[in-house]
A = this chain, B = another copy of it.
Amino acid sequence: MLYREALNRAIDEVMSVDETVVTLGEDVGLYGGSFRVTEGLVEKYGEKRVIDTPIAELSIVGNAVGMAIGGLRPIAELMTGNFSLLAFDQIINHMAKLRYMSNGKLTLPMVVRFPQGVSKQLAAQHSESYEQMLSAVPGLRVLSVNDVNYAYHALKYAILSDDPVVFIEHELLYNKKGEVDFTQELDPFKARIAKEGSDITIVSYLKMLDDVMLAVPEIEKELGCSCEVIDLCSLNPIDYATLSKSIEKTSRLVMVEEDHKTGGYGTQIIAWAAEEMFYALDAAPLRLAGEDVPIPYNRKLELASIPTPESIAQKVIEWGRKNDV
């Protein structure tokens, strides 16, 4: 099953049993969704539950908030995270805060989902990552999974949860293949150990995790060590328990992300480790991230602006040598 099919299946299953679930967004209905995540749903559930919206992101999220207040469980799709900026007021000032401001009188069972990140030459206004901003907002859960099985379970959880969830996907993951275990009970807030190891803890998430996995064989060969790779899955809350267990074992931490180096999401992981795991660390942690530039169109420049399997391997090996790994 493809990643996008797993998402489709999760939405479909929930819609088929709970008629309060609706999904809305640009081209999610008749067109089948820009990335085909909502394909086939309008035929099954009709235009009143699979709602094509105008190009009005502030309203897409704002309407979803109102639908949730009115007793529905909306899933709002934004075509890409880049357009989520137009909805930041609704996401941050409304979706995240209404429950708290009302002292719990309002409940907002809703999901905002979108893909993000560097795809292929979509240029600066279509290639950004926004998890660092959204994971810093109290009142939002942020899920962002790499794995196909997790995609199914995490999205299903998000829809059924009574809390507002931002569900971040990646344009390059939609066609990823994987098995889904439909019978499993899976906690989407628990980090996934993508690979066990004993000498370096490498933390990543979303698409970059695949690049890390591609880099690992060379790292292990060159450094003669074994890497433990952790897929965060939930960006907020963070499963610190899994992280600390791993760091206690390896004493070394590497964080890899696609976001920019300055202020990117991984600063939270490194800052946490510096505060809470300082004495467990044998070496300065390493954080690999994108350059501090808007994403350029040209393919070579674009690839030079973010970590790649090659650059990850190279930089971790360099760091490993310098730090006696």
* Complex contacts, A291 vs chain B, CB 8 Å: 138
* Complex contacts, A139 vs chain B, CB 8 Å: 293-294
Measured in the bound complex, the distance between the Cα atoms of B275 and A123 in whole Å is: 30
Which of A12-20, A22-30, A92-100, A201-209 binds B?
A: A92-100
Contact yes or no, A275 B287, CB < 8 A: yes
Contact yes or no, A133 B133, CB < 8 A: yes
Measured in the bound complex, the distance between the Cα atoms of B238 and A266 in whole Å is: 18
A34 beta carbon closer than 8 Å to chain B: no
Contact yes or no, B285 A136, CB < 8 A: no
Q: How many copies does the complex hold?
A: 2
A135 beta carbon closer than 8 Å to chain B: yes
Q: Provided the pairs A86-B89, A263-B136 are in contact, do residues A101 and B271 lie with their beta carbons within 8 angstroms?
A: no
Interface mask (A242-272 → B, CB under 8 Å = 1, otherwise 0): 0000000000000000011011111110110
Most buried by B among A88, A238, A267, A284: A267
Partner of A274, one of B92, B97, B263, B270: B270
Closest CB in chain B relative to A261 CB, distance in Å: 9
Partner of A136, one of B96, B238, B264: B264
Partner of A138, one of B101, B236, B262, B265: B262
Measured in the bound complex, the distance between the Cα atoms of B269 and A275 in whole Å is: 12
Partner of A266, one of B125, B135, B271, B284: B271
Partner of A278, one of B58, B82, B86, B284: B284
Q: Provided the pairs A262-B135, A267-B271, A278-B284 are in contact, do residues A101 and B88 lie with their beta carbons within 8 angstroms?
A: no
Contact yes or no, A138 B271, CB < 8 A: no
* Complex contacts, A59 vs chain B, CB 8 Å: none
Contact yes or no, B88 A293, CB < 8 A: no
Measured in the bound complex, the distance between the Cα atoms of B265 and A264 in whole Å is: 10
* Complex contacts, A267 vs chain B, CB 8 Å: 263, 267-268, 270-271
Interface mask (A40-76 → B, CB under 8 Å = 1, otherwise 0): 0000000000000000001000000000000000000
* Complex contacts, A135 vs chain B, CB 8 Å: 262-263
A286 beta carbon closer than 8 Å to chain B: yes
A196 beta carbon closer than 8 Å to chain B: no
A310 beta carbon closer than 8 Å to chain B: no
Measured in the bound complex, the distance between the Cα atoms of B271 and A266 in whole Å is: 8
* Complex contacts, A260 vs chain B, CB 8 Å: 136, 138
A85 beta carbon closer than 8 Å to chain B: yes
* Complex contacts, A286 vs chain B, CB 8 Å: 275
A320 beta carbon closer than 8 Å to chain B: no
Give the contacts of A280-310 with B (CB-CB under 8 A): 281, 283-287, 291-294, 296
A-B contact pairs, 13 of them (CB 8 A): A85-B88, A88-B88, A93-B125, A97-B125, A97-B294, A100-B294, A101-B124, A132-B132, A133-B136, A267-B267, A270-B270, A273-B274, A275-B287
